[in-house]
């Protein structure tokens, strides 16, 4: 009796797992991560150029320039990852965009806060702080995007 119950529970678990996570787990591949990382590096370079332009040419405060660059990064990242990394541009769903915005809002807030802490509390230079945070958040963002958003 107990064996049958455990078998049914295991079966239900695998059905649930297959229904909600199979599509996302298919995205977790080294090839997909490489596309994600290369796009992330390219977008990061654009983000750095925006920050440098705003701070050096427009004489804007670094943290404001970083916030502006993060907003632009989020928009460009959705388009890139939707079209090239996870190849879902044909069937763009409002739900995926909402999930992406929610997660990237959380992720960007975390990035912004960690950069602020590293530069203000630990007195890191801006560039090493931004690079360190970008690498760390890239790995976390990939898993969330692959499993939940796209």
pLDDT tens-digit readout, 57-96: 999 998 899 889 988 988 898 888 888 877 765 556 677 7
Q: What is the mean pLDDT of residues 17-23?
A: 51
Q: Rounded distance, CA 120 to CA 26, Å?
A: 40
């Amino acid at each position: 009796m107990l064996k049958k119950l455990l078998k049914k529970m295991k079966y239900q678990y695998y059905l649930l797992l297959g229904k909600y996570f199979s599509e996302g787990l298919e995205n977790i591949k080294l090839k997909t991560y490489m596309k994600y990382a290369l796009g992330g590096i390219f977008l990061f370079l654009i983000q750095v150029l925006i920050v440098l332009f705003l701070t050096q040419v427009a004489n804007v405060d670094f943290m404001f320039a970083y916030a502006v660059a993060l907003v632009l990064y989020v928009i460009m990242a959705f388009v890139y990852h939707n079209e090239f990394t996870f190849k879902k541009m044909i069937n763009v769903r409002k739900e995926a965009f909402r999930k992406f915005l929610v997660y990237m809002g959380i992720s960007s807030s975390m990035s912004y806060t960690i950069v602020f802490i590293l530069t203000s509390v630990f007195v890191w230079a801006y560039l090493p702080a931004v690079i360190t945070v970008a690498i760390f958040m890239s790995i976390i963002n990939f898993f969330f995007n692959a499993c939940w958003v796209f």
